[in-house]
Amino acid sequence: MKQFEVPVKYRSPLITSVKQKRKQEDRLKKDFSPTLLDFGNLHIYLARHFGFCYGVENAIEIAFRTVAENPGKRIFLLSEMIHNPQVNQDLQEYGVQFLQDTYGRQLIPFDTITSDDIVLIPAFGTTLDLETMLQEKGIQTEKYNTTCPFVEKVWNRGEQIAKKGYSIVIHGKPLHEETRATFSHAAANAPAVIVNDLAEAKELAAYIRKEKPAAAFYDAFKGRYSAGFDIEKDLERFGVINQTTQLASDTQEIAEYLKSEMLTLHQLDSSTIQERFADTRDTLCYATNDNQSAVMGMLETEADLAIVVGGYNSSNTTHLVEICETKLPTYFVKDATNLLDRITIRSFDIHQKLEVEISGYLPEKAPLKILLTSGASCPDAIVEGVINRLVEMK
């Protein structure tokens, strides 16, 4: 795999050596057991896979190279480069300005940018409307497009099945940048609709079975279906694609559920199902799969608690927290500063969507066993900082 040039401050000599050793010992990535860092009375178990993925490193390399190669030029980002506060702050300190926030709300009016400016497209991609608007302004988008290749793979797969006459169901968070971009690309080629989770997939199935009045669909899924979408006919044939950072198991469950509904409704079998349901399993991101599988493998190790490091608005990181929470007390931190002392930790509650201070998070025992992982947009140096803080306190 390509090696990217990213700022050295994001690297960790400790974690780089651990990852290289694991890669040499397990080149086929079959072993998802964690790596033990033994500090005597503190045992830290590092997940087999975590941290920067291909798409994130690609985006960071392009962004910092663009800054270095264009002194004096105004450089903008459509929105956050990736969902990591440190990386985005670093870019802002280099003078990069954000045109929108992570939900698409305008921060700087588009009419203030000109053909002399540079606009970076973030790793999540962007909508066709925004890309067209930039091109009409004379702004080059190709050279400064950091869209993850695996996101583009999803778009390409959607286009392929659209050409075969399938509509498209997207599993994603409706307000997430990537889902908005994927919806835009899908809707340009076929009727498309977004479902957030299995419950919404089941609700959609009720409309497909005509158990719910068609008119109710347009209120229930307002803002999440393409122009001219006809619920009575547009889901007679469809496939499921996904926001790449969703839980792989959730996407699989939704796809299997909708597939079974089509099997029953149209009296098909496994040999004829493609008449109504497209096979799109290959749109799952390799890094999302690896990181989630690594957490599942890590949870087989006996431990006292888990710590997940990353940006609070990072979808893939949030899903790692969800997995860990099923087995252990789990703390979601952005960096080492969240570990206030041996008694108190500041952790992000993914259910309430806010930071909370929790006391007594480190049990008084020896050895204390902690599982540790991070999201795909989190620099390894930040994870090392958390390790150093734990060692310092223990």
Q: How many residues does the chain have?
A: 394
Largest CA distance in the chain: 65
Residue/partner pairs of 159-165 with CB below 8 Å, 24 or more apart = 159/185, 159/189, 161/190, 161/239, 161/278, 161/280, 162/186, 162/189, 162/190, 163/189, 164/278, 165/237
211 is catalytic: no
The DSSP bridge partners found for residue 284 are none
Catalytic residue among 178, 211, 364, 384: 178
263: CB partners within 8 A, 6+ apart: 269, 273, 277
Amino acid at position 293, single letter: S
Identify the H or E element spanning 138.
none
- Which residue, chain included where needed, has tokens 């960790």? 12
Identify the H or E element spanning 202.
helix 198-208
Q: How far apart are CA 232 and CA 97, in angstroms?
A: 45
Cα pseudo-dihedral 267, 167, 123, 49, rounded to 10: 0
Amino acid at position 80, single letter: E
Q: How far apart are CA 51 and CA 57, in angstroms?
A: 10
C-alpha angle 31-285-308 in degrees, rounded to nearest 5: 65
Q: What token pair was written down for 203?
A: 């609700």
Give the single-character DSSP code of 304: S
258: CB partners within 8 A, 6+ apart: 169, 201, 204, 205, 238, 240, 277
Question: What residues act catalytically?
Answer: 178
